[in-house]
Structure 1
């Protein structure tokens, strides 16, 4: 990760200031105060195997950036129709960029996972009690974005005591997570695809409103069809095919 502020030009955008280099996208500030997210072809995982919950880049998949953006645009526009608050303004698929309104993250960043099946890190932690692919009732789990400590899970009380977010914000975040995950699950079900889990990020808008940030793509979820895992690029094709 690198933080540097250098004015430069990104094709298809006004002059921008490079703010942040992330695992799967870079962030720029536009002259009008909005932000530009540049999607990459890198996805998270370990040892060349994709894992939406991993905190390292595991592999590069050609076309993953545009595919992730297409699906993100699709879902964000559905959320906009439902009046669910997000940072989304518009997207340029060809340039693999998305324009968003500014928002600040909670603390140094949180990841919020909604789980419908016991897989991944949930199963690794709770395997003494959980069976693989056991149904879960939209279980919401919050983890700290902390690579050094392998993104540890954190409770509502700890979040409040550490000043990361308030109990009221946690309640709002949890409700939004369930509502957005249910929307994605419903959309996938139209293609007979099962959503096992999905990862979100949230932030505060300038007015203090809690809103969805980042993306909603195959790289942030585990989706299956007839018991077979669907790769991120394939998921985008299946969801957006005419």
Structure 2
């Protein structure tokens, strides 16, 4: 069997004291006795807020291992939900009530912000963007452009700080903490990226509240799915020459989809992904991992991923 077919797309485990199962775009979250969350990173691929029909080998492992490593590298700055990683695709942590916003922070005019800028807009989520910028230029200071958290199949939507507070999505006191944590994490993420000869261009963070009311970082952090990276070497030269930046993110998937007539709009169907294309995306994700982490990727055993994950989680929960 081709490695393209050895993926984990869906799980339906029944763990001891399991209360519920929530399925996000990529992760599946098991509530254990209203105390712990078991988060399984699947190999599902989401682009334009649409989940693609086929998974990407090792993608879940890659995202989980980057995210958990980055949480450990930032826990001195911002508390997080993580307590254990019993399997390459699994993170376990404290039960949290997630905030209904994603904290998007941008250091550069790229991606969605660049598309809006090109369309003539000079304000994003209530934040003004300077005139005279070109795509991939650095902002004078990073800007926070939040988005509402969408359910699977829906699109995240830009929202301003004012609208978040007015609609009571987050209290002003809590939102101030989210902003502070977002800036601290982005600063540390930028420093880590610089050590790998990368630029952290933009990223998103998600936060939740523990039962005791503590605000903590949850979900993924500084992964190629949640972040955009540029290669630092040659960045300014490429900007001066009006050339596209070399980047590490899943933007290459979005570009391939756009070239094949898909942008997640109503009535559009994702294009067919061949085994060869799936394997090429997997190889690209491995390359992203090795560049972001500065170490070789060790592939997990994919002979029977479902059973491997179930056995490892059960073993952890029993201990």
User: Normalising to structure 1: TM-score of the pair?
Assistant: 0.83
Aligned residue in 2 for 1:123: 114
Root-mean-square deviation (Å): 2.2
Write out aligned runs for 1:64-143 (5 A).
64-80=59-75, 82-94=76-88, 96-106=89-99, 109-127=100-118, 128=120, 129=131, 130-136=133-139, 137-143=141-147
**Residue 117 of structure 1: CA displacement?**
1.0
Equivalent residue of 2:49, what SS?
coil
**Residue 16 of structure 1: CA displacement?**
3.1
Aligned residue in 2 for 1:144: 148
- Match for 1:55 among 49, 70, 93? 49
Runs of 4+ in 1 over 4 A off after TM superposition: none
Assess if the C-alpha contact under 8 Å between 1:223 and 1:230 holds in 2: yes
**Residue 208 of structure 1: CA displacement?**
2.1
Equivalent residue of 2:170, what SS?
coil
- Match for 2:183 among 178, 187, 202? 178
Aligned residue in 1 for 2:286: 233
- Measure, in 2, the Cα distance between the counterparts of 1:224 and 1:92: 32
The answer to which structure has the higher helix fraction is 2
Deviations 1:102-128 (A, max 9, x none): 11122xx21111111111111122223
Equivalent residue of 2:21, what SS?
strand
- Measure, in 2, the Cα distance between the counterparts of 1:152 and 1:32: 30
Aligned residue in 1 for 2:242: none
Structure possessing the higher relative contact order (Cα contacts under 8 Å, 6 or more residues apart): 2
Unpaired runs of at least 5, structure 2: 1-11, 121-130, 234-244, 250-284, 297-319
**Residue 149 of structure 1: CA displacement?**
6.7
Unpaired runs of at least 5, structure 1: 1-5, 46-53
User: Normalising to structure 2: TM-score of the pair?
Assistant: 0.64
Aligned length: 221
Assess if the C-alpha contact under 8 Å between 1:7 and 1:16 holds in 2: no
- Measure, in 2, the Cα distance between the counterparts of 1:116 and 1:235: 20
Equivalent residue of 1:182, what SS?
helix
Larger Rg: 2
